[in-house]
Every structure is written in structure tokens, then in C-alpha cells.
Structure 1
């Protein structure tokens, strides 16, 4: 998988810009610690629902990185991002990876920790 030149309008969605999900609200206000626990639980259990562990690991690294680095991570792992907020991705074998918004951004009703 060489770099023959990257184009912003790749047909397979490979070179789409990545952005944070639209602002969202959790069902009830949560603290940063609760959000971290939800994220950890998701990443710990996600590989059990299918797909490859290496792809899940790359998605976690991308979700926790800034947007420029996230793009580089998904490209280098061969991940196809079909929604520009990374909520739906596929690997090169066609396995689907759904990411909840809470692993990609913070809710608008996050309680600031003291």
C-alpha cells in the first residue's frame, strides 16, 4: 500500500476529512471520570463483537488523537472512514466498526471535575 499521491476526493472515502461528531448530550450529566469509565468499557469489550483487534487499537488511538494525527492513523491502518466523524468505519476486509460518540468527543453536559 504505497503512497502514489493522496487526493481529497478518493472514491473509497479513504481521504475524507475527519471531524469531531456534532455536539451531543448524554442522557444525564456525567463527570469526566464517568466518561473515561464508559470509554474504557467500550474499548475493552469492542473487539469481542467482531473485527480485528489491531483495527480496534488503531481506532482507539485515532479517537484519542487530534484530528490531523487521527487521519494519519486510520490511513496507515487501512481503515475506511465512511462517516466523517468516524462513527462508522470499515477495515479492508469489509468488517464494520461502529464507534459511539462518547469515545470520540465530550458531551455538552459534562460536569467539570473539581
Structure 2
């Protein structure tokens, strides 16, 4: 009954609250410019991974939001079902899965300056 992730969208009767991803490390030191290029490439190709473009747009807006409450409002209003509270795994109302890499959600611990 319901979509694949419907039972996972609630925790104690409330919607799952999103949080910042845990600290992570890129395989090699990366500059802010390289990180932005990786993010742009992901978002440019994300609709090709399946799902609906408007959900991808909402996930991008949430990932780029400066405030967690704004990001929460974006995913809630788009009907995104959050499986992983750090937004790495989400579903839409139709059950389509959306996976976000950590590099679009936060900066790595080994980010270096551009020179």
C-alpha cells in the first residue's frame, strides 16, 4: 500500500527532519572551483537518472539553501519523501528514487583554496 518510501517518511508521527550530512572527505584534496564543477555536472545530468525534473529542481534548491528550515520547507512543499535525513536518498510521491551525492550537499573536510 502506498509508494515504496511512504512508511519511511514519518518518524513518531512527524515528517522526518532533514539535517546536514556528516563530515566527509573527497578521495583527494579538491578546490572550491573543482567542487562547483562537480556539482554543476551532477545537476545538469540529474534528470537523466530518472524521476521528475520538478523534483530534481526542488532537491537542488533544498541542497543549495543556506538554512535547514528553508530546505525542509522546500522538500515538504514538493512532496519529497525523505528516507535519509541528510537528503542522500529521497523518493517522490510516485515512488521514484532520487540519490544525491554528498558533494552536492556539503563541502568535504579536505577542501583547499584556489590558487
Q: Which range, TM-score by smaller chain?
A: 0.7 to 0.9
Q: Aligned pair 1:13/2:9, yes or no?
A: yes
After superposition, residues 24-39 of structure 1 pair within 5 angstroms as: 24-39=24-39
**2:3: which partner in 1?**
none
Q: Give 3-state SS (helix, strand or coil) of 1:23's partner.
A: coil
Q: Give the TM-score taking structure 1 as reference length.
A: 0.87
After superposition, residues 63-102 of structure 1 pair within 5 angstroms as: 63-65=63-65, 66-102=67-103
Equivalent pairs, count: 105
**2:62: which partner in 1?**
62
Moved over 2 A (4+): none
Quote how far apart the aligned CAs of 1:16 are.
1.2
Consecutive unaligned residues of structure 1, counting only runs of 5 or more, are 1-9
* Larger helix share, 1 or 2: 2
Mean Cα deviation higher: 60-69 or 12-21: 12-21
**1:112: which partner in 2?**
113
Consecutive unaligned residues of structure 2, counting only runs of 5 or more, are 1-5
Quote how far apart the aligned CAs of 1:105 are.
0.3
**Mapped partners of 2:60, 2:18: distance in 1:** 14
Residues 49 and 11 of structure 1: is their aligned pair in 2 closer, same or farther, counting only changes over 3 Å? Answer: closer
Q: Give 3-state SS (helix, strand or coil) of 1:61's partner.
A: helix
**Mapped partners of 2:92, 2:83: distance in 1:** 11
